[in-house]
């Protein structure tokens, strides 16, 4: 079910450009890598298929960082992250993120990122799994959008950075070394040669029928890295956010965890809370626990959703519309009257804890190739990401990539290499929309929040029916994305089938316990 490359082309007829560093993606990980590398003296090309879209822009809750050393501590943040990760966290990676993060948050503020304040001080909120209030937020619930805005401004102001709107089709590899990227830009094929390349393309939420991710999250960087031979790690560990909007005919819009952090509670269709008597932290348990509790309640009450009861926020003197203006406006646009106090929610695919295997400096198993953000996996998040750690992850390890690149690659010379880039193809009568529908429905029904050997094997069979599409002639961006989605879906399913246990966000009803032997990460390589 694998494919080497997606297109045939004559290298001599393709345009070619060179730069020191290529960054794929324009979320927090890609933007910060480019910003920092350019600041340190490198020329950078950012290649993005949509400058205005990324998972970063939809990160409502905030960014977690220990800024209050009196009421909080690094050790507490480390402990909370490791507890949420259910035994799979790389503790050294966690410590690096927690201790190096606050200085980079200060740097964000220095370049113009605005965080909400109260009485002149940064206002901190609390989210599920956190033992203290340590989450910074912007405009109530638009933190990711504000961080993306400030970083985009910084990137556009730097003459060393070139921004290209185009689609990265595949990595170019010569003798186990990444030497660049093949892209389609305005209907032309362009070879971008570089000293090093960074994959910061985000996650794969679009392989699922129900997801909080935007349409651009089709697993492109993950699939490219796998096809190029990079090691992939823990691909079966997909986090399902417990509270996505569940309103008929409307998108699975994320209802931030910060809503529960400020006091909202979960109730069933009868208005009864169903978590407080069973779980010590009730609605503020880590996401995997809350998501499974919601699924159990939905099944027992035979309905399609539970409800976030936000009336308690009023009792605490919190105006929902002022504290969460983006959520409030979106609900109103969808015709949902949140003034009644009940918002229908259900879990949806949200975040990939696995990804391209990297070390603590973001290096992959391929020379010249780095990965950062959601596309990368250093086992930082373990089996379940702690809320609001993702933006901090993107900052810290992108910073490390920039420093490592400057030290290791920036003085190198780009050699003239002979790149072989050929694949035989067979024309098939498959359409990308049909393939996408099969992928999404198969993954949601068989590789979702609750899995089993039978469901996972059925998924591989269903995905196998789509395999001829991999060798078809591909002409459009939608074709390329669909192949990437299929590659990513197969990787997730294979990994989930290997992990014969239940741990964090990965729950198998045929193996409901966690087993020590599976604390080691699963690694897949083409």
In tens, the pLDDT along 467-526 reads: 887 777 777 889 899 999 999 999 999 999 999 999 999 999 999 999 998 888 889 888
With the C-alpha atoms ordered 16, 17, 18, 22, is the resulting torsion angle positive or negative?
Answer: negative
Residues 77 and 32 occupy one common structural domain = yes
Q: Cα separation of 350 and 87, whole Å?
A: 21
Are residues 109 and 64 located together in one domain of the fold? yes
- Show Cβ contacts of residue 143 under 8 Å, excluding neighbours closer than 6 positions: 59, 60, 61, 62, 63, 115, 136, 137, 391
Q: What is the pLDDT of residue 393?
A: 97
Q: Could you report how far apart the first and last alpha carbons of the chain are, in Å?
A: 10
Structure tokens at 475: 């002409």
Find the CATH number of the domain harbouring 180: 3.50.50.60
Range of the structural domain that residue 481 is part of: 432-524
Q: Give the burial class of 129: count Cβ atoms within 10 A of its Cβ; 0-12 exposed, 13-18 middle, 19 or more buried.
A: buried
Q: Is residue 6 part of a domain?
A: no
State how far Cα 137 lies from the chain centre. 19
What's the CATH code of the domain at 304? 3.90.700.10
Give me the residue label for tokens 């060179």. 18
Are residues 53 and 109 located together in one domain of the fold? yes
Q: Are residues 255 and 209 in the same domain?
A: no
DSSP letter, residue 337: -
- What Rg do the C-alpha atoms of the chain give, in angstroms? 22
Residue 188 falls inside a structural domain? yes
Active site residue 287: yes
> Minimal CA–CA distance to 331: which of 315, 350, 345, 317?
345
Say if CB 371 and CB 198 are below 8 A apart.
yes
Task: Kindly state whether residues 178 and 135 are assigned to the same domain.
Answer: yes
391 in Cβ contact with 59 (< 8 Å): yes
Question: Chain centroid to CA 224: how far?
Answer: 16
Cβ atoms of 299 and 306 within 8 Å: the answer is no
515: in domain: yes
Q: Tell me 504's DSSP state.
A: T
Which CATH number do you get for residue 488? 1.20.58.100
Q: How many CB atoms lie within 10 A of CB 465?
A: 11
**Tens digit of pLDDT for each residue in 251-271?**
778 898 889 988 899 999 889
CB 401 within 8 A of CB 364: no
- The tokens of 53 are what? 């879209």
Q: Does residue 416 form part of some domain? A: no
Claim to verify: residue 446 and residue 481 sit in the same structural domain: yes
* Residue 423 counted as domain residue: no
Q: Are residues 215 and 269 in the same domain?
A: no
**Residue 359: predicted pLDDT:** 98
The β-bridge relationship of strands 188-199 and 369-371 is: parallel
Contacts of 438 by beta carbon, 8 Å cutoff, 6+ apart: 462, 463, 465, 466
Distances (CA, A) of 94 to 27, 62, 68, 288: 21, 18, 18, 19
Kindly give the pairing relationship between strand 342-352 and strand 238-245. antiparallel
Question: Domain count of the chain?
Answer: 3
504, 376: one domain: no
Phi, psi of 89 (to 5 degrees): -70, 140
Task: Indicate the Cα dihedral angle 23, 525, 53, 287, nearest 10°.
Answer: -130
21: which 2 tokens?
A: 């560093």
- Do 499 and 448 lie in one domain? The reply is yes
Q: Where are the alpha helices (DSSP H) in 40-135?
A: 74-84, 91-110
Residue 420 has what pLDDT? 54
Is the CB of residue 202 less than 8 Å from the CB of residue 55? Answer: yes
Do 305 and 177 belong together in one domain?
A: no
The catalytic position among 134, 160, 193, 287 is 287
**What pLDDT is stored for residue 135 in this prediction?**
94
- Is the distance from CB of 130 to CB of 386 less than 8 angstroms? yes
Give me the pLDDT at residue 2, please. Answer: 42
Give me 300's structure tokens: 């027992």
526 residues of the chain, pLDDT tens digit each: 344 556 555 555 567 889 999 999 999 999 999 999 999 999 999 999 999 888 898 887 799 999 988 999 999 999 999 999 999 999 999 999 999 999 999 999 999 999 999 999 999 988 888 999 999 999 877 899 999 999 999 999 999 999 999 999 999 988 889 999 999 999 888 999 999 999 999 999 999 999 999 999 999 999 999 999 999 999 999 999 999 998 877 777 889 888 998 889 999 988 999 987 777 778 888 888 899 899 989 988 888 899 999 988 888 888 888 888 889 988 888 888 777 789 999 999 999 999 999 999 999 999 999 999 999 999 999 999 998 999 999 999 999 999 999 999 988 888 776 655 543 344 455 678 889 999 999 999 999 999 999 999 999 999 998 888 777 777 788 989 999 999 999 999 999 999 999 999 999 999 999 999 888 888 988 8
Please say which residue of 393, 408, 423 terminates a domain. Answer: 408
**184 and 232 within one domain:** yes
Alpha-carbon distance of 56 to 61, in angstroms, equals: 11
Domain-located, residue 343: yes
Query: Tokens representing 159?
Result: 């003459």
Length of the chain, please? 526
pLDDT for the residue 505? 94
Residue 4 lies in a domain: no
Judgement on whether residues 250 and 363 belong to the same structural domain of the protein = no
**Assigned domain for 87 exists:** yes
Rounded Cα distance between 457 and 259, Å, is 38
Kindly give, in sequence order, each residue whose CB lies less than 8 Å from that of residue 195, ignoring residues fewer than 6 positions away.
20, 21, 368, 405, 409, 410, 412, 414
Q: How confident is the model at residue 410, as a pLDDT?
A: 85
pLDDT the model gives residue 424:
39
Beta-carbon contacts of residue 338 (< 8 Å; ≥ 6 apart): 310, 320, 328, 331, 332
């Amino acid at each position: 079910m694998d494919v080497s490359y997606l297109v045939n082309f004559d290298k001599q007829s393709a345009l070619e450009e060179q730069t020191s560093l290529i960054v794929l993606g324009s979320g927090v990980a890609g933007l910060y890598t480019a910003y920092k590398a350019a600041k340190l003296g490198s020329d950078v090309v950012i290649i993005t298929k949509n400058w205005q879209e990324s998972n970063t822009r939809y990160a409502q809750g905030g960014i977690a960082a220990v800024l209050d050393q009196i009421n909080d501590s690094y050790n507490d943040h480390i402990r909370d992250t490791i507890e949420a990760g259910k035994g799979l966290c790389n503790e050294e990676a966690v410590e690096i993120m927690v201790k190096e993060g606050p200085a980079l948050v200060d740097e964000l503020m220095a370049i113009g990122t605005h965080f909400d304040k109260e009485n002149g001080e940064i206002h901190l909120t609390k989210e599920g799994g956190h033992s203290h209030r340590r989450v910074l937020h912007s405009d109530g619930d638009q933190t990711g959008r504000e961080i993306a805005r400030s970083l985009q401004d910084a990137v556009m102001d730097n003459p060393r950075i070139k921004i290209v709107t185009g689609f990265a089709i595949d990595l170019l590899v010569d003798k186990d070394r990444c030497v660049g990227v093949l892209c389609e830009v305005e209907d032309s094929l362009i070879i971008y040669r570089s000293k090093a390349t960074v994959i910061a393309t985000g996650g794969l939420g679009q392989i699922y029928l129900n997801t909080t991710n935007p349409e651009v999250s089709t697993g492109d960087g993950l699939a490219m890295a796998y096809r190029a031979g990079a090691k992939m790690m823990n691909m079966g560990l997909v986090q399902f956010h417990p509270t996505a909007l569940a309103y008929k005919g409307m998108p699975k819009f994320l209802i931030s965890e910060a809503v529960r952090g400020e006091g909202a509670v979960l109730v069933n269709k009868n208005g009864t809370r169903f978590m407080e008597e069973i779980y010590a932290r009730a609605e503020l348990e880590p996401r995997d626990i809350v998501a499974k509790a919601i699924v159990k309640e939905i099944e027992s009450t035979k309905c399609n959703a539970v409800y976030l009861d936000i009336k308690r926020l009023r009792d605490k003197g919190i105006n929902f519309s002022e504290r969460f203006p983006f959520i409030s406006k979106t609900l109103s646009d969808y015709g949902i009257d949140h003034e009644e106090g009940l918002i229908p929610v259900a879990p949806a695919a949200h975040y990939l804890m696995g990804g391209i295997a990297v070390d603590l400096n973001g290096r992959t198993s391929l020379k010249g190739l780095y990965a950062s953000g959601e596309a990368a996996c250093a086992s930082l998040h373990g089996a379940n990401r702690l809320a609001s750690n993702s933006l901090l992850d993107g900052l810290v390890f992108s910073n490390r990539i920039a420093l490592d690149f400057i030290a290791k690659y920036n003085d190198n010379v780009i050699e003239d290499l002979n790149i072989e880039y050929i694949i035989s193809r067979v024309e098939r009568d498959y359409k990308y929309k049909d393939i996408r529908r099969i992928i999404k429905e198969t993954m949601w029904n068989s590789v979702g929040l609750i899995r089993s050997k039978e469901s996972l094997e059925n998924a591989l069979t269903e995905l196998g029916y789509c395999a001829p599409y991999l060798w078809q002639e591909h002409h459009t961006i939608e074709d390329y994305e669909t192949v990437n989605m299929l590659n990513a879906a197969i990787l997730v399913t294979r990994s989930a089938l290997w992990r014969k246990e239940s741990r964090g966000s990965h729950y198998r009803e045929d193996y409901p316990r966690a087993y020590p032997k599976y604390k080691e990460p699963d690694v897949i390589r083409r």
